[in-house]
Structure 1
Amino acid sequence: MSILKKIAAVTALAVPMLVAIPATAQASTPSGCSSVTQIGSTAYLNVGGETMASVKQYKGCGKNYSYLYVWQSYRSAHSDWDACAAIVTNGGHSVQDPQCGHNEVELWSLGADTLSQCTQALGWNGNDGMPYPGDIAVKTDERC
């Protein structure tokens, strides 16, 4: 077999392998802010014995953000869900800048001007600007 045929054969085998390598996922950022950093722990929203979503707190562009990501396993088992994300202050009692969505995979709260306060990210399975009785909510650890 000539050297050119060997190179062609190796190349033919290698190209499909290169195409099959998945690209690195690009992390999203909140609207209007291209650079954020996670602060504190990740909390997990468990609904009906299943992990529905992860909730994280971020800071960037002079604001705090809550980020909620609905897990693939939950999305695969449910065709319909509501979720909200917000920053909370005052020991978790004051909801700041919530954002809610229906069947959204990820949600960023609106940016809260709370960097000088103790804050937590809040996520819940509701569809209104604050959790109501019957909604399941989770908060990250408090960051000051």
Structure 2
Amino acid sequence: MRILTKIAAVAALAVPALIAVPGTAQAAATPSGCSSVTQIGSTAYLNVGGETMASVKQYKGCGKNYSYVYVWQGYRSAHSSWDVCAAIVTGGSHVQDPRCGHNDVEIWSFGADTLSECTQALGWNGTGPIPYSGEVAVKTDVRC
């Protein structure tokens, strides 16, 4: 009886831990045409229909800023089709260098020549070139 109580206690503690820990998103090595990038700022999460669709990150390298969007495995497993876009934003609303794809697991923006400006990475569930009404979009924190 004592062993069953211990097993039940361990199981009760383990379940919340499994539920609370989201999967991690691993970025592709680098965007096309750039051999080395570094993440700047925080990671944002694109939540669509009550579930996490993707992670959005901003990178710098090769004299440019890049937005990177990774569509989570859980979302891909539950959906047969999706659209996703990545872009850099300056001035809070000026979308630059958007790149969109259909059923892409990950997407890098083209690379904006904006290292001297304050920027954010933008990701959204749409077809571009900007987020339209009804599409869900998220930005990372501002990096100057």
Distance in 2 separating the partners of 1:115 and 1:100: 22
Structure 2 equivalent of residue 48 of structure 1? 49
In the alignment, structure 2 segments of 5+ residues that lack a partner are 1-25
Structure 2 equivalent of residue 133 of structure 1? 133
Which aligned runs of 4 or more in structure 1 are off by greater than 6 angstroms? Answer: none
Distance in 2 separating the partners of 1:42 and 1:128: 21
SS, match of residue 74 in structure 1: helix
Distance in 1 separating the partners of 2:114 and 2:79: 35
1:128 to partner: Cα distance: 1.5
Distance in 2 separating the partners of 1:64 and 1:136: 22
Structure 1 equivalent of residue 103 of structure 2? 103
Distance in 2 separating the partners of 1:49 and 1:125: 13
Distance in 1 separating the partners of 2:134 and 2:117: 29
1:77 to partner: Cα distance: 0.2
In the alignment, structure 1 segments of 5+ residues that lack a partner are 1-24
Q: Does 1:71 align with 2:90?
A: no
Alignment of 1:1-144 (within 5 A): 27-91=28-92, 93-144=93-144
Distance in 2 separating the partners of 1:62 and 1:133: 33
Larger radius of gyration: 1
1:26 to partner: Cα distance: 8.2
CA RMSD of aligned residues (A): 1.1
Q: What TM-score results when the alignment is normalised by the length of structure 1? A: 0.81
1:28 to partner: Cα distance: 2.4
Q: Could you say if the C-alpha distance between residues 26 and 56 of structure 1 is closer, same or farther in structure 2, counting changes exceeding 3 Å?
A: closer
